[in-house]
Amino acid sequence: MTGKSKIPPELAAQMTPEVRAFVESLLLRIAELEEALGPPKNPRNSSLPPGS
């Protein structure tokens, strides 16, 4: 994963390298999926009615 890890150092210190790598891969996948979703939709940027 590029950049700084999102895992707090006190937790990372308790993880095995394998667990840390697995968690990092999951965090990366979450970031990719969030990016693919784009910004949240609201009545101003979608076809949602104002009451949504």
pLDDT in tens, 25-39: 999 999 999 999 988
Residue 49 scores a pLDDT above 80 = no
pTM beyond cutoff 0.75: no
Please give the pLDDT value at position 3. 58
Tell me the backbone φ, ψ of residue 37, rounded to 5 degrees: -70, -30
Region 45-51: what's the mean pLDDT?
71
Give the integer Cα–Cα distance in Å for 29 and 16: 20
With bands split at pLDDT 50, 70 and 90, how would you rate the model's confidence at 22?
very high
Over the Cα atoms of the chain, what is R_g?
Answer: 17
Token digits of residue 41? 């939709």
Number of Cβ within 10 Å of residue 5's Cβ equals 13
Give the integer Cα–Cα distance in Å for 50 and 34: 24
